[in-house]
Amino acid sequence: VPVIYSSSYDISFMGLEKLHPFDSSKWGRICKFLISEGTLDRNGLVEPNEASKDDLLVVHPERYLDSLKTSSNVSFIIEVPPVALLPNFIVQRRVLQPFRKQVGGTVLAGKLAKERGWAINIGGGFHHCSRNKGGGFCVYADISLCIQFAFIQLGISRVIIIDLDAHQGNGHEMDFAHDERVYVLDMYNSEIYPQDFAARQYIQQRVELLSGASTKEYLERLDKELE
């Protein structure tokens, strides 16, 4: 199974990233753990290219990409207010470039999955970002981009999104709200962010859990929903 990863996935900007509960260095730690456990071969990792502007324009309008040239807009999306005070060239290099690298990894995973049957991107999955709006530490809509790439370049006719993050994946849900080629199974905690009720109506298979659900309860429910 091809595993896509780059050491540049991790995001750090003078410690300010620690002001957000999201672990922006988790990708490197996950990779190191899997290698140390013998689950992953370091030599088998596939390095992705950074998503280009032309790639991003497949899903994002230019006005959205231009808005990221203002640091305050980026700080709002990643929910770290002090980032608004940083020069944008620093934000581009330390924040947005790692995000774009992960987006490239998601698209590459789609391509390799078509060729080999499976592929895993250790990063990506920015499910709170839609084509017009970022949020929840999700700047680019890599899921939507990968799916559009699959439709346009890979000859794929139908896609299922199985979103198992604790949070509702409101970004891709809005992007494919009226696209019958995309089926969404979203299993999430209904009591926490983003509570996007407008996006929920576009989930074909909605699985809502409450805080405190046990691992056993979670896995049993997931098995049932996947049948």
Catalytic residues: 128
Decide: 10 and 27 in contact? Cβ < 8 Å: yes
What phi and psi, each to the nearest 5 degrees, are found at residue 225?
-70, -25
Distances (CA, A) of 167 to 107, 200, 217: 22, 12, 17
Cβ-based neighbours of 165, under 8 Å, separated by 6 or more: 125, 127, 188
Give residue 195's region: left, alpha or beta (phi > 0; psi -120 to 50): left
